[in-house]
Amino acid sequence: MNPNRVHIAIVGATGAVGVEILRVLERRHFPVGQLTLLASPRSAGKTMNFQGREHPVRALEASAFQGVDIAFFSAGATRSREFIPHAIQAGAIVVDNSSAFRMDPKVPLVVPEVNAADLHSHAGLIANPNCCAAILAVALWPLHQAATLKRVIVSTYQSASGAGAQAMEELLQQVRDHVSGQPLKAEVLPHQLAFNLFSHNTKIAENGYNEEENKLIAEIQKMFHTPQLPMQATCIRVPVLRAHSESVVIETEQPLSPAQAREILSRAPGVKIVDDPATNHFPMPLEASGDLDVHVGRIRQDLSAPPQHGLALWISGDQLLKGAAWNAVQIAETLLPNSKKF
């Protein structure tokens, strides 16, 4: 590929993540030479603005990847399974935002701050992790390197955007209906989300965990190369639009004080410390929204763990950015032939 004129394709260009990929490519001045926007036949014929110019959206088909250098897939696992082989065959490198290939041992699953080195082994396909896993990985990896994680317990506060643009619109519509005294409808998500929250709406597996929880655990274990790391997750959907928050408790093999952890995280790539007890100012989804960094705060000793061997953290990260679009573009940046990060 010509590193100054990369031919980019976005599959699912009109979806919540697809739109953000386009915005992040602009924001990062990614050297886009040509842009192929693909979506369902329903969206074909629309146009989308990129760097001040309208680009047509075309219907996704197997022959759409001719000449594409990097293809971002964000149209669900089924479409990824069907069309990614065609994209690879056409010579594109695929960054897949779906869960289809994440646990395939031949496919690297990458958060660049954590395991960019795993990109070396790719065979045309790189998986982008689950949103909660990506956000958590950025905050935990520097602590793991410093003191070796022994146990991770996480409870999530996941925004509507994780279920797509329609779920965000449903939350907004519920709020409008509440204000105008209309009955609230839940059609995209299984329950009313306005003024409510609920256990993540994915299937409960045999181990009693829902798919989101099992993904979060398995993907952290894969990216950290610690397949046996003991992890516990509870995933909850909350009435927030687009950033996920996580309450995290860790145990470490080596001693690690809250002050040390704070110092380590303040130097860590992709992390912004938001931690001011004097003004009660800590990570909030509203402030993390739109930010490429993961916000980390409330760094303190876990009162139920031995001193220096347990910490609690509170983090927020934009689900559509670090949890999806930004991590995908960041992988693409790392793949550029002239990247110094690779």
Closest to a second copy by CB, 62 or 204: 204
132 is catalytic: no
User: Alpha carbon of 319 to those of 88, 193, 277: distances in Å?
Assistant: 27, 17, 25
* Tokens at 249, concatenated: 């408790």
Q: How far apart are the C-alpha atoms of 71 and 49, rounded to whole Å?
A: 18
- Pick the closer one to a second copy by CB: 47 or 198: 198
Q: Which residues pair with 232 in a beta bridge?
A: 153
Whether 120 is catalytic is no
- In DSSP terms, 243 is beta-bridged to 318
Q: Kindly name the residue from 7, 200, 244, 309 that is annotated as catalytic.
A: 244
Query: Whose Cβ is closer to a second copy: residue 26's or residue 291's?
Result: 291
Q: How far apart are CA 7 and CA 4, in angstroms?
A: 10
Q: What are phi and psi of 11, to 5 degrees?
A: -95, 125
Is residue 311 within 8 Å of 250, Cβ to Cβ? Answer: yes
Calpha distance 178→143 (Å, rounded): 44
**Smallest gap from residue 49 Cβ to a second copy (A):** 24
Residue 148 to residues 216, 224, 306: CA-CA distances in angstroms? 19, 11, 15
Nearer to a second copy, 98 or 289 (CB): 289
Looking at beta carbons only, is 146 or 288 nearer to a second copy? 288
Binding site for a second copy (CB under 8 A): 151-153, 155, 157, 175-176, 178-180, 190-192, 194-199, 201, 203-204, 207-210, 217, 230-234, 236, 238-241, 245, 247, 249, 258, 277, 280, 282-286, 297-305, 310, 312, 314
| Smallest distance, a second copy to C-beta of residue 258, A | 7
Choosing from 55, 122, 131, 235, the catalytic residue is: 131
Considering the complex, what minimum distance in angstroms separates the CB of residue 281 from a second copy? Answer: 8
- Total Cβ atoms within 10 A of residue 298: 17
CA 44, CA 244: separation in Å to the nearest integer? 31
Annotated active-site positions, please?
131, 244
